[in-house]
């Protein structure tokens, strides 16, 4: 049955506006710019801070790296806050995720004042975990529907091993015992569904996957992230994969809607500029 417009709109609304930057930001610890740099560095070591804000007349005007603090005042080591490191608190979560992956950390502004910071360590917070797991669920559902469309009948079976097929059939039997009614495609693992599609040149072209080699790498990254989420494990080290999903959220939702979508080229893993 075709999804209603209101249903599709609600799904898009969740992934675009369900969470924002302020939902994962932490309070920015800041110091007066006139304070002695060695004193502030000692406090930053004590608080395990690599970056801190600097205040002038009560307003945050820049930041410092702990490792750059030497002699003199903090003001002597001040770095102005670059535009690429500044987000309004209402910026959608997916935009914040991309920016944090690119910059390693960003500052969050509320009512014109900088008062928050987001680092890659914040990517493990519940709002991010819920958002990413939800998007992966949407993606898996889209994969299943596209398999049915592209491989009518049992045409998909030639793209995965017999053992993987049997595993899906076993799960189908178990679910039917619980009075559920899935078909065998629904019982395939996430990686199985992706493999069936990514092995097919036509499907790869439709999804914007450049090659089977690139497809295998993407499957590996997505499955690793999904398993970490499902088993409550740390996902911070998957920040580049999270950024890829965030950058392509509209392509995933288009795929889910059954429209002509392209996941075109994946984002290049951002280069880390600083550790926070």
The string of DSSP codes covering 47-93 is TT-SEEEEEETTEEEEEEEGGG--SSBGGGG-EE--GGGEEETTSBH
Q: Which residues pair with 114 in a beta bridge?
A: 109
**In this predicted structure, what is the pLDDT of residue 45?**
97
What pLDDT sits at residue 268? 39
Is 0.75 surpassed by the pTM of this model?
A: yes
The pLDDT score that the predictor gives to residue 229 is 95
Q: For 109-185, where are the alpha helices, taking DSSP H only?
A: 126-150, 162-177
Residue extents of the structural domains in the chain: 6-120, 126-257
Please state the length of the chain.
276
Question: What is the pLDDT at residue 274?
Answer: 41
Which pLDDT belongs to residue 8?
Answer: 78
Looking up tokens 């710019």 gives 33
> Who contacts 252 (Cβ-Cβ below 8 Å, separation ≥6)?
135, 138, 139, 142, 245, 261, 263
Phi, psi of 105 (to 5 degrees): -155, 150
Q: Which two tokens stand for residue 106?
A: 């960003």
Q: What is the pLDDT of residue 4?
A: 59
Q: Identify the segments of the chain with pLDDT beneath 50.
A: 1, 259-276
* CATH architecture, domain defined by 6-120: Roll (3.10)
pLDDT of residue 22: 97
């Amino acid at each position: 049955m075709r999804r209603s417009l209101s249903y599709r709109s609600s799904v898009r609304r969740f992934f675009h506006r369900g969470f924002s930057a302020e939902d994962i930001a932490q309070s920015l610890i800041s110091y007066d710019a006139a304070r002695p740099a060695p004193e502030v560095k000692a406090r930053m070591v004590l608080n395990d801070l690599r970056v801190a804000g600097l205040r002038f007349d009560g307003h945050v005007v820049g930041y410092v790296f702990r490792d750059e603090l030497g002699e003199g005042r903090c003001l002597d080591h001040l770095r102005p806050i670059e535009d690429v490191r500044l987000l309004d608190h209402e910026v959608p979560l997916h935009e914040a995720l991309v920016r944090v992956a690119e910059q390693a950390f960003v500052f969050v502004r509320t009512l014109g004042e900088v008062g928050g910071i987001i680092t890659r360590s914040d990517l493990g917070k519940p709002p991010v975990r819920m958002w990413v797991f939800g998007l992966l669920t949407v993606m898996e559902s889209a994969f299943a529907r596209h398999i049915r469309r592209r491989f009518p009948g049992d045409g998909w079976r030639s793209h995965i091993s017999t053992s993987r097929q049997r595993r899906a059939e076993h799960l189908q039997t178990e679910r039917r015992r619980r009075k559920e009614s899935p078909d065998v495609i629904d019982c395939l693992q996430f990686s199985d569904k992706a493999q069936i599609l990514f092995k097919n040149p036509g499907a790869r072209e439709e999804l914007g996957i450049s090659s089977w080699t690139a497809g295998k790498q993407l499957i590996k990254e997505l499955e690793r992230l999904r398993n970490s989420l499902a088993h409550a494990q740390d996902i911070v080290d998957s920040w580049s994969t999270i950024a890829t999903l965030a950058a392509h959220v509209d392509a995933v939702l288009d795929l889910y809607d059954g429209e002509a979508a392209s996941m075109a080229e994946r984002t290049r893993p951002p280069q880390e500029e600083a550790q926070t």
